[in-house]
Amino acid sequence: MSILVTGAAGFIGFHTIRRLLGRGEDVVGIDNLNDYYPVQLKLDRLGELRDIGTGSFTFVRADFTDPDALQQSLRGHEVRRIVHRGAQAGVRYSLQNPHAYAMSNVVGHLNILQYARHVGAEHLVYASSSSVYGGNERLPFCVEDRTDHPVSLYAATKKADELFSESYAHLFRLPQTGLRFFTVYGPWGRPDMAPWLFTKAVLEGRPIDVNGEGHMRRDFTYVDDIVHGILAALDRPPADDGAGKPGGSKSPHAVYNLGNNKSVELGHFIATIETACGRRALRNLKPMQQGDVRDTYADISDARRDLDYCPGTSIEEGIPAFVAWFRDYHGYGEGQASHGIGPMPPRRAGSSMARQAQA
């Protein structure tokens, strides 16, 4: 029996699979390897998954927005649990290409629900987002807060996912856990996110755009802490006992915040990157951007109680770890500037394996 992980070549999906393999699980990973950001980075993540732990990993290139392709790609695999990480990410890109979000995040989520229902999955853990809280001014964000006023299309799709999941838990008694992630960062992260963009610009001596004039606050959460929460949730399906669950459901459906339980001002976050890089940032202060929220801050009391979730990585620890990985991945050392990312440089015993796996 296997654990299915969607978005296997993505940032959090990759780290989740690595931890599952480390504890001896058999994992089937699917990903369509789209070009939202450089595919080589995704291939390199897959290459890193060779020879980890005592488990086994099978990668299948598939698009879960196509229900027939999803079924065909998983034929022959006995899936008992699912971690649904695949999605179209990014708040601002949702303003440019809303149809991609509707297909991947809404239709794709529905397809995974249908698949889980028909194979009789024991538990489906899916990714939601702190963005569902919209412009909520009550801090910290609690899962009981209203989430029906999204300020981005991305957030609207994630709220839709939670509603679809609630209906499937009620109608078909499908055990599910939704996880609202708060600004995840760390090694192997995404090139469109602030830690990557800021680190690259600082090392190259280019200015960075600082939205909200640096006064925005984010609950930055290190990826290892997030994966701990994902696996803890996976191992604890909500009971179908009629009792109320975090998020308000009386069906077997719980919703948790996974954050660091600390809200850090963007200016301080940038200063931490400066220290790790050994260079000062050239800051271009800008107003709030459309779709952004000013502050995020996770109340993790439910996750701490039910999942034994206890994040322990501060940005003073996590950012140097990310910067060290960034320097190593791009092949330049301390004090040496990058000359642009461009095509990802070959590193990589694992890349050939990843290319074979997708065929």
Domains of the chain: residue spans and CATH:
2-348 (3.40.50.720)
Q: What angle do CA 278, 280, 321 make, to 5 degrees?
A: 40
126 is catalytic: no
Out of 101, 126, 133, 154, the active site residue is 154
Strand boundaries in 149-247, DSSP class E: 176-181, 184-185, 207-210, 217-218, 221-222
pLDDT tens for the chain, 359 residues long, are 899 999 999 999 999 999 999 999 999 999 999 999 999 999 999 999 987 878 899 999 999 999 999 999 999 999 999 999 999 887 777 878 899 999 999 999 999 999 999 999 999 999 999 999 998 888 899 999 999 998 889 999 999 999 999 999 999 999 999 999 999 999 999 999 999 999 999 999 999 988 765 678 899 999 999 999 999 999 999 999 999 999 999 999 999 999 999 889 999 999 999 999 999 999 988 876 665 667 888 999 999 999 999 999 999 999 999 999 999 999 866 555 443 333 333 333 333 333 333 32
Q: Are 282 and 208 in contact (CB under 8 A)?
A: yes
What is the reported pTM? Answer: 0.90
d(CA 141, CA 224): 22
Q: What is the 3-state secondary structure (H, E, C) of 1-34?
A: CEEEEECCCCHHHHHHHHHHHHCCCEEEEEECCC
d(CA 343, CA 99): 27
